[in-house]
Structure 1
Amino acid sequence: MEWFEALFFLLGMILFFMFLGIPVALAFLAANVIGAVYFMGGRGPLEVQMARGIGQLANNAIPTITSFNLMPVPMFLLMGEIFFFTGLANRMFTAVDRLMGKLPARLSFVTVAGGTAFATLSGSSMGSTALLGSLMVPEMQKRGYKKHMSIGPILGTGGLAMLIPPSALAVLLGTLAELDIGDLLIAGVMPGLLLACFYVVIILGMALVDPTAAPAYDVESSTFTEKLRLIFVDIIPMVSIVVLVILVIMNGIATPSESAAFGCLGVVVLAALYRSLTWDGIVKSVTGALKVTTMALLIIFGSATFSALLAFSGASSGLIKWATAFDLSPITMLVVMFLILLVLGMFMDQLSMMLLTVPIFFPLAQTLGFDLIWFAVIILLALEISFTTPPFGLLLFVMKGVSAPGTTMRDIYVAALPFMACAVFLVFLLILFPQIALWLPSLGN
């Protein structure tokens, strides 16, 4: 079988099973089992072929899902769940809201600041969008905010969630691509902060151009002492956990796995100190983290076996030779991969997209001479932008479900575009100045 026939065979089976309505992780697993029997089973009776193929499949995948590098994933997820279910997230939202005072478009800034903190810890863009939509949109509607000022910032915070550590998705991407997890987490800090600054500027610009988009209203003023209390009691303790996780990784004090465990312990201690740690909250937090972790492990198992099949069948090497045979510059190839992710994001979630593309894109990126940490940061940005790509980006429909009655899909598209433009501009800057992503990791080496 030619390499392109093997590639179409494997991808075709996956798409066929997905078309039948089978969950993505199980669709990949079923296709991988069939592919393993065909490519790795050798000759002989069907029973022997199945035993050989499935045995080889397990041998290739088990070392990946038992890797110590995956330990940060459940820890980071548990951090986010405890942060939400113990009420620490609401404390921080309320504190940021009061500190903003009479700032124009105050609730939009609260959404970016508070939403980023929650989304970063939770690692779930869809969950964060649903939470922020149900929490902030009714309040902004009551205050007379126009739809693009309420919906846009909520959709925009997802990009920050994927970049600023601790990010469970970054850990998964680094594991699948066999990258240094610590370097990848640190590489997202500067791009994430830069993107946050872009969001602040664009919200402020929209508020100044059209003051009626975010009408001012009377708010209860806080004394200087009250503001200090809000900062030191309700904000700094929460933010310090994220900062400490970053610092211990950067300084080599702990591995990403160890720092994730310390971060999780820090959130538990904070919740206990605030007397908000309940048994019900613990159960809900562990259950939520367990569900996502189980799905993530299935995705990783599928990716590991899919990568092995692509390599064994010759599809990976054939695809790389075919792609590099074109007289295209490496940057042009990067743009092509970026556009593919934008299209896939209209139909698939982030984990499924990583499962499908990482085994193909990263070997190609290495052949093209890209720094793989830098390339992974761009992939993370592409994954997030693709979630809000009209007309079928998944976050757009999540936003529609939690928006005020009368909100049309056109309203949501228009609100998302300026924040998508910010993320695309950041990708452009990363291409021109790779050190935006690589400077911090270089300090720790």
Structure 2
Amino acid sequence: MSKIIQMQEAFRSLQNLKQICSYNREMIDCPTRCLIHQEARIWLIESGRATVKIQEQKFELSTGNVVSILPWQMTEVIQVHESLRYDIIVYNYEYFNHIIKSLYNIDNESFCLTGLLKKNMVLSVPEEKNQNFRNIVFNIQEEMGMECLLRERGNDATPYVINQVVALILEIIRWGEYRQRISERENREIVKSDIFSYIFGHLNEKITLKQLSNLFYMSESTVSAYITQTTGLSFFDLLNEMRVVRTLDFLAYTDLNLEELAEILGFVDSAHISRVFMARTGLKVSEYRKIYGIVNELSRIKISEENYQIVSCIYRNYEKPLTAKIIADQFHISVKEVNRILLYFVEMNFTEFLNDIRVNRARQLLIKTQRSILEIALEVGYLNEKTLTRNFLKKFAMTPGQFRNNTLEKILWEKTKVSES
């Protein structure tokens, strides 16, 4: 006869059976029997070491680990090396699954919350990153109180607590995805010659030797020496060479001005692109455009010109409610072809390219105007502030508000230094 496994009670709180989440502190100092959890929970390990089974997988838990357990998953503490102390958030999984999918999934992207959390049952988070988790858990504790103290702290969880629990769940997913990217990068066979493909594929970004060093697991000096020995060019000369080659076609097939081309191709500004172009070709941009325009008319090249016009069309109409389907219909091609063309010419698909333009425009408006973030979001083509914030975070690793504050502080500091000198 098989052994019956004990089931944990299906309550978040003994004080309020309707409560959707609760906070507590627990300690485990000896092995435990296998237990089925009817409610989802998150552990933030404060101290100690223990060997734990979760869904038949064995994990070594220690300080800084974040553990996510879903309803009807099983855990068993096999061995305790040092008493395990942890914060625990017990929450109604169905409720928060619905909240995240209906309110926070702005673009209706297809994702499975259960699958994402199953992939990240135990996370090992460095101290500097672990502070994010600690702050969220502390906020929940401050608002909810500690379950084991049996003190009344109001009725159901407040909207603030709900947001904090959502933030905790999303932080687990976010850190898990980051860890997966790191793992894939570490397991990938590094080929030196891929350096050139990577640079060419990311010309629109501000590529640095430090970035290449981290990606290809070589020191900055080794990367620089490899580029010079292979091409005869320095790192920065190679960047300029690649960008000039891309510039030639954009000059020939679009009417984008130099400021617009500088942004698309990764130059600092129009002066930079003019200087580099003149040094590499011996011609001014206007002279090249005039000469190549004549050649283009004689050869009647149409296909490539249309490809570049697609890029130009998106760039010039970014604030409108554009979709890949609208662009595809306008140029009488398929959505798949639109994405293929963009991946070739700007190294981004339609959504990535449109978001890149909008976020860059938003950044300029944050610096040059006092408009609210919502006003800026609407002006650059987003339907709400949250979508701008999410895409801004992806590119600049900070919110629009943080970017504006940091920029203003930097400007103020520079003015102070000038006045002092």
Q: TM-score interval w.r.t. the shorter chain?
A: under 0.3
Structure showing greater radius of gyration is 2
The structure with the greater share of residues assigned to helix is 1
The structure with the greater share of residues assigned to strand is 2
Question: Normalised by the size of structure 2, how large is the TM-score?
Answer: 0.26
Larger RCO (alpha carbons 8 Å, 6+ apart) = 1
